[in-house]
Amino acid sequence: MNQRQHTKSVETALMAAVVLIVALVLSAVPNRAWAVTCPTTETPADFDGDGFTDFQECSGITLADGVTFVPPCPSPLGRNACLDPNTKDLFIIYAPATAGSLLPPGLNPFGTVTAYGVTFNGLPNEITVHQITPAQAAVDRTVTSGWTQKAVRVAESLDANGAVLGYCQWGTPNGLDGCTVYTQRIKNFITSTCGANAIVTPAGNPSNVDDASLAYAIHTFLHEVGHTTGGMTATYNSSYGGYHYKCGAGTMMEQCVTYSTKAGKCKFNMSTGWNTTLDSPTINLR
């Protein structure tokens, strides 16, 4: 994303102690209502096409750190704390800057978050996101030892030199690495764009550069990760910079965040929805 557009593209981390407790609780939860008939031994079958086999999702997996267990559903902590062979599971390595991060502690940009008067609801409902830390996956982003499926890694960068605000390779989680969100550039862009104008929310309520920057960063996280799920637009359009919709289209994958500066007010219009009718069939996680 540059000052007006994206370039070609780029829930709380699962903690071992918490998930181990969940695994114990699950032993008392009967009758899994699954369409998939769970195999008793490993097979290549992957009903939901997310890169994890039905056996893995019916049995649970241990992450590459060798400690964190992600159990099969159901879970008292919700869908994002367990695996389901019927619906897609995506692991995302969330890597804020180790020092000086502009992102609040404990942020989950892939869950439900409200900032700048805008509520973001993560990726499309077809995908359940499991946010993990860099230490919980292998160096090559492999999710679990002995298996090939990888996590998407998206990192915060504080580099202020350049116009690109977000970047990710187009493709699938098993493709090239390198998703980055440039939070300092986002903040600088908002500051320079608004100038002396008062920053207001899309509804016109008073706001500030930090809240607007957080919302812009969350939007960028979601947009860029969208590119690693098969493109997240139905078609490639060179007029809109590739797998994007036109600016102001009202979807997360629009080419740019539009804004206005008039009557002494500066406002950014951040879309939160996805074109599920056209784009959901294009989702590819493996």
Note down pLDDT in tens along the chain; length 286 residues: 433 334 333 333 344 333 334 334 344 344 455 689 999 999 999 999 999 999 999 999 999 999 999 999 999 999 999 999 999 999 999 999 999 999 999 999 999 999 999 999 999 999 999 999 999 999 999 999 999 999 999 999 999 999 999 999 889 999 988 899 999 999 999 999 999 999 999 999 999 999 999 999 999 999 999 999 987 888 888 988 888 999 999 999 999 999 999 999 999 999 999 998 988 888 999 9
In a domain, 210, yes or no: yes
In a domain, 185, yes or no: yes
In a domain, 196, yes or no: yes
In a domain, 202, yes or no: yes
Residue numbers of the domain that contains 117 = 16-282
Q: What are phi and psi of 25, to 5 degrees?
A: -65, -35
167 DSSP β-pair partners:
180
How many domains does the chain fold into?
1
In a domain, 7, yes or no: no
Radius of gyration of the chain (CA): 19
Q: What are phi and psi of 33, to 5 degrees?
A: -90, 75
Question: What is the Cα 104 distance to its own chain's centre?
Answer: 16
In a domain, 140, yes or no: yes
